[in-house]
Amino acid sequence: MSYSTNILDEVLDDVDGLSILQTRPCLICHHYGTVLVDPEALEAIAAGTLIQDALPMTAPAIREQIISGTHPDCWEAAFGTLVED
């Protein structure tokens, strides 16, 4: 995964030790979304760690939302269920 901007610039706020990350506009519905992510994982992603290595316990659908902005429900409606790892 490669962000054209620094992923850390997309953090809106912190709550209960997690960062609220604003994701890109969804490829299907074109709305922005948010996900809660461990700040250390975001720093790892920003440093070049692969998302599946930085967030191994995070559902693939949420990792996809972080990568492309596509919401899990939009992905399922367009392409079917995202395969779990």
How many structural domains does the chain have?
1
- Using one digit for the tens of pLDDT, what is the confidence trace for 39-66? 999 999 999 999 999 999 999 999 999 9
Give the integer Cα–Cα distance in Å for 46 and 44: 5
What is the band of 2 on the pLDDT scale with cuts at 50, 70, 90?
very low
This prediction's pTM? 0.84
- Distance (Å, whole) CA 52 – CA 83: 14
**33: containing domain:** 7-79
How far apart CA 73 and CA 22 sit, in angstroms, is 17
Task: Supply the pLDDT for residue 79.
Answer: 87
**Does the residue 63 lie in any domain?**
yes
Return the structure tokens found at 56.
């191994």
